Copies of this chain bind each other. A is one copy, B any other.
Amino acid sequence: MVFHYPNGQKAVTTTSSIPSKKRKPNFANRGMVLEEAINASNRYYAQRNLAVVHKKPTPIQIVTVDYPKRSAAVIKEAYFKEASTTDYNGVYQGYYLDFEAKETKNKTSFPLRNFHQHQLDHIKACIAQKGICFVLLWFSSLQRCFFLDGEMLLEQWESRERQSLTLTFLEEQGIELTLGFAPQIPYLLGVEQYLQTKEQNTHGK
């Protein structure tokens, strides 16, 4: 039986022969709250013609597809693949936007192990093409969200001195986003502030 959420989306059900205690956590649902908040913000911006940003679909390796009579094709065997890019991209007033969102339950720092090398490689390549890259870092225990630009993240990543970004570092070098109702995560404010700072630095040189 297929359950539907009130928004018409089908529920993802899990079948397993493993006793529930030993069952592996469903990583597909980790960070769903953050993801939904960003998707809602994307919709908010799109509806007001402020930006066009979409989450990329999760890449799936399809192995078997069944074509039942008079019905839609059913994927019967498939596996999750690792993405080669970040999760979100789009366009805002001529700027290419590219970002990733991550969350931690920590209260004093953001572990860099939340990121993968391929995500940093992608961010680096996009920056080389003059794209605006950033990450949204969500401290779920603190209910605080920081915008950190890609250059800054790369610098920290490549120095390898830090295993994590301290909250103090993010308060100083990041841009804290005040969460709201609509949009829930006003990341375009972060983009605007980043662009202004960048322009000031350019003129100051």
Contacts and interface: CB of A to CB of B under 8 A. Distances in A.
Interface stretch (A103-111, A123-131, A173-181, A192-200): A123-131
Nearest to A22: B69
Interface in A96-128: 96, 98, 122, 125-126, 128
Q: Is the interface of A mostly helix, strand, loop or mixed?
A: mixed
- For this chain, the copies found in one complex come to 2
Interface residues of A, number: 62
B13 A63 contact: yes
Contacts of A80: 72-73, 75
Interface string A65-92: 1111100111111111101110001111
Given A54-B84, A75-B60, A75-B75, A66 B98 contact: no
A150 to B, nearest CB: 12
* 6 nearest CB pairs, A to B: A94-B130, A91-B96, A91-B131, A75-B78, A57-B59, A96-B96
A57 B56 contact: yes
A143 interface: no
A113 to B, nearest CB: 20
